[in-house]
Structure formats: C-alpha cells, structure tokens
Amino acid sequence: MADQLSATDWLDQGLKTLAKSGFTALKADPLAKQLGVSRGSFYWHFTDVDAFHAAILARWRDIATEQVIVNLEAQPHGDALPQLLRSAFSFRTELELAVRSWATHDTAARKAVQAIDQRRLSYIEQLLRQSGASNETARARAQILYWAFLGYVLSDKPLPRARQDEVIAELIRIAEA
C-alpha cells in the first residue's frame, strides 16, 4: 500500500504534519519516514519541496474554503450563513494557525492566506447581500464576522460549549439584523 501513495496521500500527511509540527517540518525525508516510504515516492508526485508547498497551500484552500462553500451552497436557502458561523466556530484551529504562522515567514504562504481571506470575505458578503443587506452593510458585517473568526482562531482558551453556543447565536443575530 505504501508504494501506491497518491499525491493526495502526501498532501493529507503534509497537512497533518503542518498542523502538528509547523511549516518547517514539510520536508521530503521526514514525511517519507512518517508514511513508511522512500523519498523517491515524494519526488514521483512533486518536482521539489517548493512544488509540494504550493500543493499543500492549494489543498488547504480546497479543504478549508472551497469545500466548505460547496457544502453550504447545498443548504436550503437562508441556512448557509448560520451554518457557516456554527461550523467556523466549532472546528479545530491548529491547521489554520499553522498556515497563518507559515505566512509570516513565507511570501507564497502569505499570498495564499491573503487570497483565501479575500475569498472567504467575498463569500460572506455574498451571503449577507442575499439576506437583504446593502452592499455597504454586507461589507462591514462580513469584515466584523471574519475578524471574530480570526480572534477565535488565535484564542488559546476555547470557550466552554454552552458559552460558545451563546456567542455563535449572538453572531448569527448580528449577521441577520
């Protein structure tokens, strides 16, 4: 099985490693050891570590943004924004933190984070406009909601579940006001 690893297998292991050990651990040798394969398997899928890093960032974008949006678009009309807020404030933040940390040291990671932030903000604005908010109101509320999300990501003390539910309910109320 180890001889049959796909690029996605490498990327998924890379994301796990990134979340656990940070961007400096995204190297062929340690990842190959974790997967129980030779370094050659890595180079079969990626021309070099930079290509792997670019693919990691693209995979993160897909998982942390594009798949989320696709899933929300399948929701009944009007349910997307509350569902987005509930899921955004319920997920584990290690990977998001690791990518943002990486972005403070690497231009390509910084550009990827900036693009994803813009994509997320635009999507939130779109949901707010669909709910009847004016362009200006949607832009302002989207920014506030996204700042709240980033604060959640950066918080080292998670709220107790009941308190978190209260905060999410209030964010939904603010968004729908």
Domain 2-176 top-level CATH class: mainly alpha
Q: What confidence tens digit (pLDDT) does each residue in 11-57 have?
A: 999 999 999 999 999 999 999 999 999 899 899 999 999 999 999 99
Higher pLDDT, 75 or 65: 65
**1 has pLDDT over 70:** no
Task: Indicate the domain borders of the chain.
Answer: 2-176
117 touches 146 (CB < 8 A) = yes
**2 has pLDDT over 70:** no
Give dist(CA 67, CA 55) in Å, integer. Answer: 16
